[in-house]
Amino acid sequence: MIQTETAKELELSSQEYLKLVSQIMSIRKRSDVPKAYVRTYGCQQNISDSEMIKGMLSQAGYSFTDNAEEADFILFNTCAVREHAEDRVFGNVGALKNLKRRHPQVLIALCGCMMEQEHVAKRIHDSFPFVGLVFGTHCLHEFPKLLYKSLVDGKRIFLRDNDDLCVHEGIKTLRDGSFKGFIPIMYGCDNFCSYCIVPYVRGRERSRRPEIIINEARDMILSGYKDITLLGQNVNSYGKGLDCDINFAKLLREIDSIDGDYWLRFMTSHPKDCSKELLDTIASSRHISLHLHLPFQSGSNRILKLMNRHYTREKYLEIINYAKEKIPDISITSDIIVGFPGETYEDFKQTLSLVEEVGFTSLFTFIYSKRNGTPAAKMDDPISAEEKSKWFSELLKTQEKIASKRCASMVGKTEKVLVEEKSKKEGFLCARTSGNIIVEFLGDESLIGTFQNVKISKARNWVLQGELIK
């Protein structure tokens, strides 16, 4: 086992380590200020973790660059959820070999979900000797000390600690956006869906204290954030294990009661814990967006059982029908896995029929990827990759028709949108509805970061076009 460090008490505080790093880098920097290149793979949780790392780096005096060539510190925050994501990381890390040869003083580091897997850490250790620092998701709070030790000792550090059950507070976040941002409300996952690596690399579920989350939300709203997303692998089970009277619906109501002009979003929900109380809370709220991301993964009860999902197709539809009844404008999205081990075409047809029955706004669709160490990795998987690809294309085609129809039904309506960025189309802006549908319209870029009203004039597949209402 590669573990040259164990998670133990810090000898100095994080602040003190960051100060020392700042002193070292003021001498060693390659240009006028020390620069960091941080590349994030995978989900919103990883984006949020990277924002914490950037917060710590900025306290140590680093500025940020999109060009790895000019960086003093290069960090890849990795994702382990599918094989494809891992392959990309290995490929991109391999490409840094030359850079390190040309600039030996550059520190190259890897962190995130991949690094909590023993076999990955070993491969990095043996095949990528130019990587100087490797740390897993549980060691994020130790980053100041690890960075300092790497710079001072020059020895390679590999640290994993997936037994840590603590929530570490007080890390300063440097958010990527100035009007859209994430707040992690819990870490880890206890669900052990049979295909999923997350519980093994992010550990047991643990919630942050409500007062800390509410204060963070209040600060963001006061400083002008318009779109706040609460993050967790299974937000519906928020609060379990805390010594106070709280659940996810209550937390939402507490945040919703803060005055201001903003939207509140959350992800991801698990159907087994999606309560009527939560849907009633969305229906009666002032700020919660009309969007429910509720992954169903498969429409076949047989496959859902093999996936260890703890709900049936019928239970899922019951939740969806309740949501549609209470919140008629709700926009529903989902995640689907195609080609789970043992899935037959008959099972897959059940997924197609569920997609048609619900009428999703959009879908995140994935072909099953074998993850070593999960129960599904040991199951028979007789269907060929070509066959799975065909099913996958059939699913995309079905969803495309549904999304087009759904978007077409919005033509003529006026929608409140949050303007996000310039569109690739000259003179146009990109915005999003409360239901998370993209709307493009002609407008001045000074509108970015503001809410506007747009009359929908056209629908192109899953993108709407509209006119600004002055």
Contact region with ligand SF4 (CB under 6 A), list: 114-122, 159-167, 194-202, 395-403:
194-202
Considering only residues 172 to 191 of the shown chain, the ones binding ligand SF4 according to CB under 6 A are: 189, 191
User: Alpha helices of 178-245 — where are they, by DSSP H?
Assistant: 198-202, 210-222
CB 248, CB 284: distance < 8 Å: no
Which letter, b or e, does each residue of 395-428 get, where b requires 16 or more Cβ atoms within 10 Å of its Cβ? beebbeebbeebbeebeeeebebbbbeebeeeee
Residue nearest to ligand 5AD (CB): 335
Contact region with ligand SF4 (CB under 6 A), list: 8-16, 20-28, 195-203, 336-344:
195-203
Question: Torsion over CA of 199, 200, 204 and 205, rounded to 10 degrees?
Answer: -30
Peptide bond before 414: cis, by omega within 30 degrees of 0?
no
Closest CB 456 distance from ligand SF4, rounded Å: 33
* CA–CA dist 134, 118 (Å, integer): 12
Structure tokens at 438: 């993209």
Binding partner of 366, given ligand 5AD, ligand SF4, none, CB within 5-8 angstroms per partner class = ligand 5AD
* CA–CA dist 437, 108 (Å, integer): 38
Measured from the CB atom, the residue of 92 and 369 that comes closer to ligand 5AD is 369
Closest CB 127 distance from ligand 5AD, rounded Å: 24
Closest CB 217 distance from ligand 5AD, rounded Å: 24
Binding partner of 319, given ligand SF4, ligand 5AD, none, CB within 5-8 angstroms per partner class = none
Strand-strand pairing, 206-207 and 186-187: antiparallel
What is the CB neighbour count within 10 angstroms for residue 38? 23
Closest CB 452 distance from ligand SF4, rounded Å: 35
Q: Judged by CB under 6 A, how many residues of this single chain contact ligand SF4?
A: 10
Closest CB 42 distance from ligand SF4, rounded Å: 12
Measured from the CB atom, the residue of 131 and 189 that comes closer to ligand SF4 is 189
Measured from the CB atom, the residue of 80 and 403 that comes closer to ligand SF4 is 80
Binding partner of 308, given ligand 5AD, ligand SF4, none, CB within 5-8 angstroms per partner class = none
Considering only residues 228 to 267 of the shown chain, the ones binding ligand SF4 according to CB under 6 A are: 233-234
Task: Confirm or reject binding of residue 112 to ligand SF4 (CB under 6 A).
Answer: no
Which residues lie across from 432 on neighbouring strands?
418, 438
